[in-house]
Amino acid sequence: MRQANRRYLNRFIPSMTCYAVFLLGSNMLEAAYAPTGAPLIALAILPALPIIAVIWAMGMAIVEQPDEYVRAKLIHAMLIATALMLSVMTVWSFLEDTGAVPHKPVHLAFPLWCAGLLVGQVWLWARDRIAGREA
């Protein structure tokens, strides 16, 4: 495994582990104690912190990627993910405004973006494979 990928995983895995622990813990604490005010705000923010760390890890994966072709493909996939996420969120919000669809939490934007990243990577892989460019 390349060193840049190893560093990414060394950031990603602990961050996602913390996310799972913080999300479960904050939900359990809120259900058990029904906090208000600052404690409630702290519990609400807590699961977001590891997600912010994952976003930082993804950015660092680009910065630290020594292979410019791999870096360009990663950036391209991220642009596809961003376009898909913004498109879906925009259409959904207009549908929400009319009452045609139920409200969805905005924190679903990041998982949607990650799904778009997968779509982008698969698209680029398939495009390169069809064109005969293996990488």
Interval 63-87: pLDDT, tens = 999 999 999 999 999 999 999 999 9
- The rounded mean pLDDT for the chain is 95
Cα dihedral sign, 38-44-50-55: negative
Q: pTM for the complete prediction?
A: 0.88
Instruction: State how far the Cα of 30 lies from the Cα of 115, in Å rounded to an integer.
Output: 29
